[in-house]
Amino acid sequence: MRRLKTIKLFVYAALLYPLTLQATELKGRVIRVLDGDTIEVLQEKKPVRIRLANIDAPEKKQAFGNWSANQLKSLIAGKSVTVSYTQKDQYGRIIGRVFTATGTEASLFMVRIGAAWVYERYNTDHALPGVQTQARNQKMKDNN
């Protein structure tokens, strides 16, 4: 009897767990692009630091770092965005999917143009690796 109760408890927990991961949304204007995967969004007169989910990009002092940051700036600097997120990182930054007013997702954009790569360890977007492969193949074609 006790084992049956334990099994039921696990079943209920498994059914309820996805409900605890509901994404939170924030909307604001991008006031700063720190590098190719980190931005600040002004929300309710306060800057909120956002780390783009699923990708990694070079730091500004690394090779292609400024170029990567400039690509992200061209997409979202000074513009309104919507950020969907479920967690923060160890530095207190929101890890989120950032969307422009026209629906372009910043992470996807950055991988597609080769300005960032899939952060395999933390990636939850199953489409991104394929986009990355296409971007690499296109780059090889362009160089031949």
Ordered domains of the chain (ranges, CATH): 23-143 (2.40.50.90)
| Count of residues in the chain | 144
Q: Rounded CA gap, 38 and 57, in Å? A: 9
Which residue positions in the chain have pLDDT lower than 70? Answer: 1-21
Residues designated catalytic: 51, 59, 93
The pLDDT score that the predictor gives to residue 4 is 53
Q: Rounded CA gap, 106 and 104, in Å? A: 6
Q: Rounded CA gap, 43 and 85, in Å? A: 15
DSSP state of 74: H
92-106 tens-digit pLDDT: 999 999 999 999 999
The pLDDT score that the predictor gives to residue 140 is 83
The pLDDT score that the predictor gives to residue 10 is 52
Cross-strand bridge partners of residue 24: 85
Q: How is the chain split among helix, strand and coil, in percent rounded to 5?
A: 40, 30, 30
